[in-house]
């Protein structure tokens, strides 16, 4: 199979070459922020580090970390490294966990972001013959604008659908022959369900999907691939670092290549901050070495994952990150035990349920309770008479094996859990209400 490389000289460069780029760019970036961002200068002074201490990528560990709290502290302009007159765009996080974070872009920053997303589309088999259907949200959210820019760079015909209006999404998909779908995995699953219900699967021409912005499991990937008849690719990014396209999956589908000419990745122990050797699980940290307006040094993402430099059959040499295994922000602590929604989802999909569920955490008599409401599939629902209890019991056992604690299970009728057109709301934690 011939694969289209967007920038093979960069994406397949030797380790030495990548290190050389990283070192040169890091040295320059550290000096730039030290001289232009008082917030950084202060952080570096507190750690007694000067730009002269950073001579290569090997010195990266000497720099202080920056966290989401710093971004909130410095809101809105405190980390800006270029005059506002040089900036052309602002994007923002959804702000679900507190004050919003705003990120700034020069034209150069937008170009490199588009490059990263273009690489992701090419890696999913995209060319200028494709019709790229983008139903990530547009606006302050980076999903829509990122994939849109990448698709233009590839030269694909771009459908800026944004999220919502599922009937129109499906109609355009059929009428205009969309071949690559970009959205959240939960919306892809919903589109698949809706297309099959309408009996329109024969009329869609989709071949691939690029799905990110929320956690999803391998089981969910298989479900989406089956229901839409496509190959489903993962993409990773975060507004703070630029947006989607920081890392993306290739045809091998065993982790996402990080665009190492723009971002340096480290894995640290989330408790001690110590850098961990390759292959160990820990918190992912990024340094953006080419961004001008909003460069972050050693940004703690809160995502738990593993890095791997094993040779990839696609030919790309950039390091691969595993799918995040959990986000310390998403992590629930129930009865003192760490629970990730992705663990619950794995159990449900393994037992033949779709990814339509909600987790309700509460506190009764000073003790935590967890209930998982799960939609039955229509087939289960029609033969459920007298078997509900049996099915619920089976799930309770499987969840206990996965989580180590008892979770109540409540099976509900198909379609009774609200569908999402953006990020699915999986968790309702009532404990903070008390």
Interface ranges with Zn ion (CB under 5 A)? 250, 252, 312, 314, 316
- Cα(415)–Cα(116) distance, rounded to whole angstroms? 37
Q: Toward Zn ion, which CB reaches closer, 251 or 420?
A: 251
Q: Toward Zn ion, which CB reaches closer, 311 or 432?
A: 311
What's the distance, Cα to Cα, between the start and end of the chain in Å?
A: 58
Q: How far is the CB of 11 from Zn ion (least distance, A)?
A: 9
Other beta carbons less than 10 A from residue 322's beta carbon: 17
Of 162, 193, 200, 159, nearest in space to 176 by CA:
159
Q: Toward Zn ion, which CB reaches closer, 300 or 316?
A: 316
Q: How far is the CB of 342 from Zn ion (least distance, A)?
A: 23
Long-range contacts: 366-372, Cβ < 8 Å, 24+? Answer: 367/335, 368/334, 368/335, 368/431, 369/408, 370/332, 370/334, 370/339, 370/405, 370/406, 370/407, 370/408, 371/407, 371/408, 371/409, 371/410, 372/344, 372/348, 372/399, 372/407, 372/408, 372/409, 372/410
Q: Toward Zn ion, which CB reaches closer, 204 or 312?
A: 312
Per DSSP, helices labelled H in 177-319 are: 185-197, 218-228
Q: How far is the CB of 125 from Zn ion (least distance, A)?
A: 13
Is 222 in contact with 250 (CB distance < 8 Å)? no
Q: Toward Zn ion, which CB reaches closer, 129 or 252?
A: 252
Q: Toward Zn ion, which CB reaches closer, 195 or 250?
A: 250
| SS3 category, 98 | coil
- Cα(79)–Cα(119) distance, rounded to whole angstroms? 28
Q: How far is the CB of 208 from Zn ion (least distance, A)?
A: 15
Per DSSP, helices labelled H in 65-106 are: 68-73
Q: Toward Zn ion, which CB reaches closer, 312 or 332?
A: 312
Task: Name 238's Cβ contacts closer than 8 Å, sequence gap at least 6.
Answer: 93, 246, 301
Q: Toward Zn ion, which CB reaches closer, 58 or 252?
A: 252
Task: Name 429's Cβ contacts closer than 8 Å, sequence gap at least 6.
Answer: 332, 361
Q: How far is the CB of 57 from Zn ion (least distance, A)?
A: 22
Q: Toward Zn ion, which CB reaches closer, 43 or 312?
A: 312
| Backbone torsion region of residue 3, taken as left when φ is above 0, otherwise alpha when ψ lies between -120 and 50, otherwise beta | beta
Residue 153 corresponds to which tokens in the numbers above? 């760079």
Q: Toward Zn ion, which CB reaches closer, 255 or 422?
A: 255
Other beta carbons less than 10 A from residue 302's beta carbon: 20
If you count them, how many residues does the chain have? Answer: 434
Is 392 in contact with 353 (CB distance < 8 Å)? no
- Cα(409)–Cα(394) distance, rounded to whole angstroms? 9
């Amino acid at each position: 199979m011939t694969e289209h490389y967007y920038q093979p000289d960069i994406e397949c460069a030797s380790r030495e070459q990548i290190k050389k780029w990283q070192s040169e760019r890091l040295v320059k970036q550290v000096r730039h922020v030290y001289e232009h961002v008082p917030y950084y200068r202060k952080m570096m002074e507190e750690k007694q580090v000067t730009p002269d201490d950073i001579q290569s990528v090997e010195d990266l560990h000497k720099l202080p970390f920056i966290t989401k709290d710093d971004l909130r502290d410095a809101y809105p302009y405190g980390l800006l490294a270029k005059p506002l007159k040089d900036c052309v765009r602002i994007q923002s996080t959804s702000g679900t966990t507190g004050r919003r974070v705003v990120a700034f872009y020069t034209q150069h920053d937008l170009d490199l972001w588009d490059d990263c997303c273009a690489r992701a589309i090419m890696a999913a088999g995209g060319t200028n013959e494709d019709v790229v259907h983008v139903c990530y949200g547009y606006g302050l959210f980076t999903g829509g604008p990122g994939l849109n820019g990448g698709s233009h760079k590839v030269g694909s015909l771009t459908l800026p659908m944004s999220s919502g209006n599922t009937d129109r999404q499906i109609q355009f998909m059929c009428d205009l022959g969309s071949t690559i779908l970009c959205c959240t995995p939960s919306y892809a699953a919903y589109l698949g369900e809706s297309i099959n219900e309408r009996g329109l699967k024969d009329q869609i021409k989709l071949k691939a999907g690029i799905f990110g912005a929320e956690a999803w499991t391998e089981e969910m990937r298989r479900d989406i691939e089956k229901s839409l008849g496509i190959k489903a690719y993962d993409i990773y990014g975060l507004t703070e670092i630029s947006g989607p396209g920081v890392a993306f999956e290739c045809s091998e589908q065993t982790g996402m290549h990080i665009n190492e000419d723009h971002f340096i990745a480290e894995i640290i122990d989330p408790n001690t901050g110590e850098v961990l050797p390759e292959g160990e699980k820990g918190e992912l940290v990024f340094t953006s070495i080419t961004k001008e307006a909003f460069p972050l040094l050693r940004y703690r993402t809160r995502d738990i994952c593993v890095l791997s430099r094993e040779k990839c059959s696609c030919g790309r040499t950039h390091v691969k990150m595993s799918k995040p295994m959990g986000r310390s922000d998403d992590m629930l602590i129930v009865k003192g035990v760490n629970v990730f929604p992705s663990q619950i989802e794995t159990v449900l999909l393994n037992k033949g349920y779709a990814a339509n569920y909600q987790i309700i955490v509460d506190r009764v008599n000073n003790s935590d309770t967890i209930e998982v409401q799960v939609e039955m599939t229509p087939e289960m629902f029609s033969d459920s008479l007298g078997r509900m209890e049996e099915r619920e019991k089976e799930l309770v056992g499987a969840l206990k094996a996965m989580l180590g604690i008892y979770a109540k299970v409540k099976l509900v009728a198909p379609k009774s859990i609200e569908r999402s057109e953006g990020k699915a709301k999986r968790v309702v934690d009532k404990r903070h209400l008390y």
